[in-house]
Structures are given as C-alpha cells and as structure tokens.
Amino acid sequence: SERSERSERSERSDRALFFGGTIGAMWVLRSFLALLPMAWALPEVPPCADIHTWHNVTAFRGTWKAQLSSINEKALFYHPNCTEMGAAPTFEVVGGKAVASGSATFGFKIAEGDTFDVAYSLTLVRSSAEPLHPKDGTVSTVGTVGTGRERRLFKSMACSYVIAAAGPAQPDVRAEPFNGATCLWERNEGVGENYQVDFSPEDEDVSDTQMI
C-alpha cells in the first residue's frame, strides 16, 4: 500500500542519515585523535632534570666567541649532556652551523635562593677576520699596505644580551649591538629563548673605509 511504501522510504532515509552521521562523526573523531599527539607533544629538549630554560645560540655569518656570565644573583649554566658549564663559560659559534634537534647550546637553572631579580648576560664577539666572499683569495686589510701599520679588517663586532624575566614565561631581554653587528632573539614557547647574530657585508665595507 501507499502508506507502507511511504513508511519504508522513511525508514531507509533514517538509516542513511544514521550511518552518514555516524561515518561523519567517526571521521571527525579520527581527525581529532590524529591531531592530539601534535597538540600534546612537548618540545624536544635535552633530558636533564630541573633545567628552567634551554637556549640555542647561532650565527648567520662569521665566527664568534660567546661568553655567559651572571649579573645579579646566581645563574647556573648547563651543557646539553646535563653537566654544569661553570661560572663564566665560553664557547664558539660558527656561522651557518645549526643546533642539532633535541639538543641546545646551553641550559639555565635557577639557583637556590634566586628570585625573579636574577639576571645574566650573553656576549658574542666576532673573532673571524676573513672577508665574506674574497674574489682573489686574499684577506682584506686596512691601512696603507707596506707601511707596517696595516691590520686585518676592523674593530670587533659584538652583541651583548642582558637576560632577565619579569615573571614566569615573561622574558625580558635587552640586546645591544656594537660595530655593525645584528643582534636578534626570539621566544621558543615552552622552552626558552634563542639568540642569533649576523652582520651585513655592506657594514663590513664601511668599517674598512672608516679605519683607513
């Protein structure tokens, strides 16, 4: 009869809606579950206990000598292998050399008795004196050649960072460039701050001219 046919069509439609809705819900759930590891994954850092923050220090160009030092209260610095670096550690930063995944340049640990008035410095001084792209394989010098007064390049470029925090996850970093250096830093959420240094080839040429 017409009534039973209408009832059968309605039942088929209900089944289609049920299965369609179930498949749609399953797809949404599957997508959500697939995203959970990404949302909950912790940043890769060295497996050291009680380290407050981890930091990478890199350079785009040049070779730089870096030094860490406490300014106010006691800052503790650690290698990525979990050993302490000492009171005023130094290390070399080579242009274009990245920090390996899951590692870091140094870790910072809050010493017993420290408050949010703790502060430390990171200073990088450019130690390489080579030109960026020498055309003839020679090293640039300043001064009059043959007088004995010439020397390679110019006064050292440097970046000095004063690093503190106004509170939890509130870094307060001041960067001061010297002699044409470019001093950059960025927040790495949930890990710490990263620092990058660079310089412009044009600045290098200007420095050479000024020193002649």
pTM of the predicted model, to two decimals? 0.66
Query: In the structure encoding, which two tokens stand for residue 98, read together?
Result: 């990245």
Amino acid occupying residue 176: E
Residue 146 falls in which region: left (phi positive, over 0), alpha (psi -120 to 50) or beta: left
What's the CA angle centered on 88, arms 83 and 90, to 5 degrees? 80
Of the two residues 136 and 212, the one the predictor is more confident about is 136
pLDDT at 211 over 70: no
The strand pair at 192-199 and 57-59 is best described as: parallel
Contact 93, 124 (CB under 8 A): yes
Instruction: Round the average pLDDT of the chain to a whole number and report it.
Output: 77
pLDDT at 183 over 80: yes
DSSP H or E stretch at residue 102:
none
Q: How far is CA 126 from CA 92, 155, 156, 198, in A?
A: 10, 9, 6, 9
Contact 106, 57 (CB under 8 A): yes
pLDDT band for position 153 (50/70/90)? very low
Give the CA diameter of the chain. 116
Residues 121-150, mean pLDDT to the nearest whole number:
60
pLDDT digits (tens, 9 = 90+) for 155-181: 689 999 999 999 888 999 999 999 889
Percent of the chain with pLDDT over 90: 54
